[in-house]
Amino acid sequence: MDAGPRAEAPRAGVGDRLEQAIEHQTDLAAEVARGERELEAPEGKRRSLKRTAFWLALSAVSLYLVAPSIIEALGSWREIEKVSPGWLAVMAALEGAALACLWLVQWASLHGARWQPVIASQLAGNALAKVAPGGGAMGSALQYRMLVAAGLSPPAVVSGLTASNLLVFSVVLALPVFSIPAILRGGVQHDLLNAAMVGLVVFAILFAVGALMLTSDRALLWVGRAVQAVRNRLRRRAQPVQALPQRLLGERDRILATLGPHWKRALAAALGRWGFDFGCLLAALKALNELPRPALVLLAFCAAQVLAQIPLTPGGLGFVEAGLSATLTLAGVPAGAAVIATFLYRLFAYWLQLPLGLIGLGLNVRPARHPGPAPPE
């Protein structure tokens, strides 16, 4: 890394969305650990009940508002009969590969962990996050408990989950930015190979840029200063952000300190997690013989991932269905086919992952008492 002094960055009073996203992903695992201690006191239990009641009420109202989109998507389930079983198998394999990449990221972040507790805790936590109000925090809490019960130390679990969350989420933040050049370039070939090539090029560029950001202080500071300058210029009346470059540098160092020499493997796995997920959406469209400009499909996919981060409903349920079908329609897919493609994609990326949580709990029936050997160098 580039050498140079690093000043301690004060926290901005009013941060922009990027700072809020970093804040959320950074503090999520730490909040889980603090919540474990707070629940031991009666006051902590009362606060937990109030917080649960609040999220239940908020999720109920949100689900009521997006219910038409959910009903419309689920109402197309009979159309699966028109899809070739071969394409369904391809979509299942792609989502399985996406899960495997996520396991690799977490395994690399949790030094000394065995594969069984990593896979079991991720499956169980992921399923809970998709059904529980405020699901992200509850899913992380369950994964934290399962990993600690498997023999990993609480500090190692907190740092490992934080690093993996930051790395995976940073790819989501970068995807829309790197899909814009592909859109401006255009592309008239509406075929699966061309769409797959566009995706491969974008993710290859993301890996190169990600490696640069992880190894060069100068490049990361430049990006931080540029984003900070644009934000402060667009929001002149808001309190200016002054420490975003140093904040990004600190979070980057936290990721590298946790991943160690395995950061390249983890970065490739984080990109693969979203690359295979994007492939599932492409396969759903191809199965329906509907494939618009590939760059627009990538933009629709990016929009769906951003909508999935909305905590108003578990897993962005309803928001993703409405947003993805709408963006696919804008990309040139007929409205009916867009709804069916959205249902097919969500079937493998959301609904079929719910019963996998039971498999995760089953794998955790006999947790390991001691952590396994450290990952090979």
Stretch 198-220: mean pLDDT, rounded? 84
Are the C-beta atoms of residues 280 and 345 closer than 8 Å to each other?
A: yes
C-alpha neighbours within 13 Å on the C-beta side of residue 2: 14
Could you report the per-residue pLDDT of 80-120, keeping only the tens digit for each? 888 999 999 999 999 999 999 999 999 999 986 899 999 99
Tell the burial category of 278 from Cβ atoms under 10 Å away from its Cβ (0-12, 13-18, 19+).
buried
d(CA 152, CA 135): 23
Q: Which of 98, 136, 142, 101 is nearest to 120 (CA)?
A: 142
Structure tokens at 258: 């946790």
Are the C-beta atoms of residues 152 and 110 closer than 8 Å to each other?
A: yes
Are the C-beta atoms of residues 275 and 141 closer than 8 Å to each other?
A: no
The residues, any chain, with a CB within 8 Å of residue 124's CB and separated by 6 or more, are 142, 143, 146, 357, 360, 361, 364
User: At residue 48, what is the residue type?
Assistant: S
d(CA 116, CA 17): 36
Mean pLDDT of the chain: 79
Are the C-beta atoms of residues 270 and 105 closer than 8 Å to each other?
A: yes
Comparing 7 with 136, the larger pLDDT belongs to 136
Structure tokens at 233: 């210029």
Stretch 208-236: mean pLDDT, rounded? 87
Q: Where are the alpha helices (DSSP H) in 186-316?
A: 192-215, 217-234, 244-259, 263-287, 294-308
Q: Please name the helix (run of DSSP H) or strand (run of DSSP E) that holds residue 122, with its range, or none.
A: helix 115-129
d(CA 319, CA 326): 11
d(CA 215, CA 210): 9
pLDDT surpassing 60 at residue 127: yes
Q: What is the share, in percent, of the chain residues with pLDDT greater than 70?
A: 75
Per-residue pLDDT at 281: 93
